[in-house]
Amino acid sequence: MVREVTGLAEAETGAGQAAGEWPGQLQRSPTEQLLAMLDGRRLSPAQRRIGQFLIDHHAEVVFMSSVDLADRVGVSQPSVTRFAAALGFTGYPDLREKLKAIVLGAAKETPEQVRRNEFQAAIAAEQANLEALGRLAAAPYRLVETGRVLAESTPLAVLGLRLSAPVAQYFAYSARRIHPDVRLITAGGSTAEDALLQAQQAGAGWLLAFLLPRYAQESLTALARARELGFKVALITDNPLVPFAGLADILLPAGVGSRLVFDSHAAPLILASLLVQAMADAEPERTQARLEAHEAQSELRDFYRD
């Protein structure tokens, strides 16, 4: 699947190159090459543990069988095989041969160098995601229009399950300051269906959904149910080419950082803030009145400490 928001590996890798091949490979450290190989892959947390072990112990892994590697990481042998396939290799032996070429062709790194390269690469990947978001904001019509329709929907339903929930919660917390009725849904299954039905019966026209990797089936089920109920859907996800894009009336991409064990969501969080701002701009008088009322209550109740 082609990513609109490119990471370092995609920026450095030419189209059509085989898995694990990069220009100037011998000039880069093993950690940098391994991070590039992992970048942008949709890996499970267990698979990322394997990737982390490769980064930390690449000189040892070239002598390990798939069974040995699975035992050291604490996963099953089939997990190692699936990990190799997820990186585009025909199997673990193919991955090990590529790793051997990386290790033999580069100077040895200290543990401090390994960790520094890993952290810096994660930050650089997030910077690339933010730059892509900046290009979206440079032509702001889509953001402005999305803010307008979300501001007009009363109630406004907001969906975010599993790891997408914190981003949805951040949006909902902020939006409630300027919108009269924001209904946050962070539980799936029948609970989500009940909440969607109640919002629809109360007059909601729009659902803002955060669906970030890994894509939970229960989130897709909730989206489909929302469409059945007549909702229009504004979807924030990492890739405009996701297979469920057809469920959205508006799709706003925000790349996620995939360099660490768990995805980082700097760009989706900023996009959530931009949408709240667009909602505020769409209803300036309502926004001002609600913010002043909140400030008055905060001062009266001494909510905050300077």
> What is residue 192's predicted lDDT score, i.e. its pLDDT?
95
> What is residue 8's predicted lDDT score, i.e. its pLDDT?
31
Domain co-membership, 118 together with 148: no
> What is residue 220's predicted lDDT score, i.e. its pLDDT?
95
Distance (Å, rounded) from C-alpha 20 to C-alpha 111? 23
Kindly state whether residue 71 falls inside one of the protein's structural domains.
yes
Regarding pTM above 0.95, the answer is no
Domain co-membership, 269 together with 153: yes
- Structural domain span for residue 260: 139-301
Question: Could you say which of 62, 97, 123 is where a domain stops?
Answer: 123
63 pLDDT more than 60: yes
* Per-residue pLDDT reduced to its tens digit, 265-306: 999 999 999 999 999 999 999 988 888 888 888 778 777 776
> What is residue 116's predicted lDDT score, i.e. its pLDDT?
60
Domain co-membership, 185 together with 272: yes
Nearest CA to 82 out of 100, 97, 70, 68 is that of 70
Give me the chain's average pLDDT, please.
82
Residue 63 sits in a domain whose CATH number is 1.10.10.10
> What is residue 161's predicted lDDT score, i.e. its pLDDT?
96
Question: Could you say which of 61, 89, 123 is where a domain stops?
Answer: 123
Kindly state whether residue 3 falls inside one of the protein's structural domains.
no
Tokens describing residue 205: 């026209």
Domain co-membership, 217 together with 104: no
Most confidently modeled range among 23-37, 91-105, 127-141, 221-235: 221-235
Segments in the chain forming alpha helices (H): 8-12, 30-38, 45-61, 66-73, 77-86, 92-104, 111-138, 141-152, 165-175, 189-201, 217-228, 266-282, 284-301
**For residue 297, how many other CB atoms are within 10 A of its CB?**
10
Confidence bin at 13 (pLDDT 50/70/90): very low
Q: How many domains does the chain divide into?
A: 2
Domain co-membership, 153 together with 265: yes
Residue 174 sits in a domain whose CATH number is 3.40.50.10490
> What is residue 21's predicted lDDT score, i.e. its pLDDT?
40
Confidence bin at 11 (pLDDT 50/70/90): very low
Kindly state whether residue 306 falls inside one of the protein's structural domains.
no
Q: Which residue has the higher pLDDT, 235 or 25?
A: 235
Domain co-membership, 175 together with 280: yes
* Residues 191/194/196/198 CA torsion (nearest 10 deg): -140
Domain co-membership, 189 together with 285: yes
Domain co-membership, 150 together with 286: yes
Domain co-membership, 99 together with 144: no
Kindly state whether residue 132 falls inside one of the protein's structural domains.
no
Q: Tell me the mean pLDDT in the region 242-246.
A: 88
> What is residue 16's predicted lDDT score, i.e. its pLDDT?
34
Backbone dihedral angles phi then psi of residue 207, each to the nearest 5 degrees: -120, 125
Domain co-membership, 206 together with 256: yes
Domain co-membership, 286 together with 187: yes
Q: Which residue has the higher pLDDT, 232 or 117?
A: 232
Domain co-membership, 152 together with 113: no
Any idea which of 90-99, 137-146, 226-235 has the lowest mean pLDDT? 90-99
Kindly state whether residue 129 falls inside one of the protein's structural domains.
no
